[in-house]
């Protein structure tokens, strides 16, 4: 028999995995494709809300049920201690003596293959089947070069599989699940996930601040986390100064960029799901969409107050007649400790004396910046710019 071995954390298994499995079976002419979910990695915890290994096994059974020839294999999940591919293959060689094994790997895994434990032994036990995971041609060229090198160095058998790319990742799938707008899942898997409340699909309303922060940070890209915490803390301090509730301001801060990691398509999917029609300007300038979708998610998923929802809605563009909380979030986002641009120090001084003047300064800098780049300014920002300019001028006269 020709047997494929397809490992991964499958957290959760999604349509990209399922399509790849079907294609692998067909293109490699396999009699069987073993889906081998990894045990929990020992030193790294899986994303918040992830089910345990046995539950991921159950999810895989559901997700791959429609793929003829796919078979779920529990050897890594059942093995004690750290799982190495070389051990998995050795075990499979014992179970399937005389059969031909193909180890399936993505491009990035393949490029680091030399650093794995016992690559020679792996290549003696199985052919390596490298699949395209993106349409990046440069990356694919380095795969071809590395394949040549390994063929010579290890006498490895390497086949490259040019599969149709489904540009979706488990991280994206998890985020959209938490936001109540799932994408890329088989209906059976989705039902199971929701039934069990995995991947933050349970009730997220009324969380304590600590819980809210944990959930929020888990949904952000790593590089944005310091900014989000910085904004929350700055908003809290500004609230103390300007007579707002510090906890409310902090909650608005920790949620303000909650949908920032989503791409344009995912942003629009959330708008559609929650019956919100974005303006043409927002569609043309997708960076503005995260304020719209962030506000939706703060209200619908986290059950936050109208005041917080509104502060998040206007945190990017500002608007005329902003509430105190809206102004606080707008400025906190602008001046939190990780921001570094000319004039930020002045803004940090000004904000303790005159909140409106600080908002005006922020708006003016944004508008000037966009104009310098020759870009159109959002109508809400423009209106806010006129409004706060007048307000600041008037207070300077008094």
First to last CA, the chain: 88
Nearer to Fe ion, 19 or 344 (CB): 344
Q: For residues 21 and 258, which CB has a smaller minimum distance to Fe ion in the complex?
A: 258
Task: Figure out which of the listed residues 76, 186, 257, 380 binds Fe ion, where binding follows CB under 5 A.
Answer: 257
State how far the Cα of 376 lies from the Cα of 285, in Å rounded to an integer. Answer: 10
Residue 41 backbone phi and psi in degrees, to 5: -65, 135
Query: How many Å apart are CA 10 and CA 56, to the nearest integer?
Result: 7
Listed in order, strand segments (DSSP E) in the chain are 2-8, 32-37, 70-72, 100-106, 126-131, 158-161
Write down the least CB distance from residue 312 to Fe ion, Å.
9
Q: Judged by CB, which is closer to Fe ion: 6, or 314?
A: 314
Q: Which of 188/226 has CB closer to Fe ion?
A: 226
Pairwise CA distance, residues 176 & 200, whole Å: 10
SS3 70: strand
Interaction mask 208-247, Fe ion, x per CB under 5 A: ----------------------------------------
Select 198 or 314, whichever has its Cβ closest to Fe ion.
Answer: 314
Q: Which stretch binds Fe ion (CB under 5 A): 101-109, 161-169, 213-221, 249-257?
A: 249-257
Cβ-count burial 11-27 (b if 16+ within 10 Å, e if not): bbbbbbbbbbbbbbbee
Among 300, 304, 333, 378, binds Fe ion (CB under 5 A): 333
Q: Which residue number, 82 or 287, has a Cβ lying nearer to Fe ion? A: 287
Q: What is the number of helices (H) and of strands (E) in the chain?
A: 20, 6
Nearest to 13 by CA among 32, 29, 36: 36
Stretch that binds Fe ion, among 22-30, 81-89, 327-335, 343-351 (CB under 5 A): 327-335
Subset of 150-209 contacting Fe ion (CB under 5 A):
none
- With CB under 5 A as the contact rule, which of the stretches 34-42, 150-158, 163-171, 254-262 interacts with Fe ion? 254-262
Q: How far apart are CA 337 and CA 345, in angstroms?
A: 10
Paired tokens of 176: 């959209």
Give the nearest distance from C-beta 293 to Fe ion in angstroms: 11
336 sits near Fe ion (criterion: CB under 5 A): no
Q: What whole-number distance in Å separates Cα of residue 30 and Cα of residue 103?
A: 12
Cβ proximity to Fe ion, 33 vs 255, nearer residue = 255
Q: How far is the CB of 126 from Fe ion (least distance, A)?
A: 47
Residues that bind Fe ion (CB under 5 A): 257, 333
């Amino acid at each position: 028999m020709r047997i494929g071995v397809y490992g991964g954390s499958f957290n959760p298994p999604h349509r990209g995995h399922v399509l790849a499995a079907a294609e692998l079976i067909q293109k490699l002419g396999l009699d069987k494709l073993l889906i081998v979910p990894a045990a929990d990695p020992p030193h790294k915890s899986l994303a918040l809300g992830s089910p345990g290994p046995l539950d991921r096994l159950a999810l895989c059974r559901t997700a791959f049920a429609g793929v003829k020839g796919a078979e779920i294999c529990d050897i890594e999940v059942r093995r004690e201690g750290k799982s190495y591919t070389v051990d998995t293959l050795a075990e499979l060689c014992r179970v399937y003596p005389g059969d031909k094994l193909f180890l399936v790997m993505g491009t990035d895994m393949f490029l680091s293959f030399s650093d794995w434990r016992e690559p020679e032994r792996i290549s003696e036990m199985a052919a390596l089947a490298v699949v395209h995971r993106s349409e990046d041609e440069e990356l694919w060229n380095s795969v071809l070069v590395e394949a040549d090198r390994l063929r010579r160095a290890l006498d490895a058998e390497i086949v490259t599989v040019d599969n149709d790319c489904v540009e979706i990742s488990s991280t994206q799938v998890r985020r959209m699940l938490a936001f109540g707008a799932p994408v890329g899942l088989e209906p059976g898997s989705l039902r199971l996930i929701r039934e069990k409340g995995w991947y933050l699909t349970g009730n997220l309303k009324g969380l304590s601040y600590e819980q809210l922060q944990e959930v929020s940070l888990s949904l952000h890209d790593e590089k944005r986390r310091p900014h989000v915490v910085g904004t929350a803390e700055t908003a809290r301090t500004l609230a103390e100064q300007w007579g707002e509730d510090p906890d409310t301001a902090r909650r608005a801060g920790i949620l303000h960029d909650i949908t920032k990691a989503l791409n344009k398509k995912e942003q629009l999917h959330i708008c559609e799901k929650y019956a919100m029609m974005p303006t043409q300007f927002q569609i043309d300038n997708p960076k503005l969409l995260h304020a719209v979708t962030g506000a939706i998610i703060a209200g619908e998923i986290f059950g936050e107050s109208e005041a917080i929802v509104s502060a998040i809605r206007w945190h990017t563009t500002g608007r005329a007649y902003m509430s105190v909380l809206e102004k606080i979030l707008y400025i906190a986002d602008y001046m939190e400790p990780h921001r570094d641009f000319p004039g930020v120090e002045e803004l940090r001084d000004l904000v303790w004396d005159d909140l409106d003047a600080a908002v005006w300064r922020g708006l003016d800098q944004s508008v000037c910046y966009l104009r310098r780049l020759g870009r159109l300014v959002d109508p809400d920002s423009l209106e806010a710019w006129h409004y706060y300019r007048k307000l600041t001028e008037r207070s300077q006269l008094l």
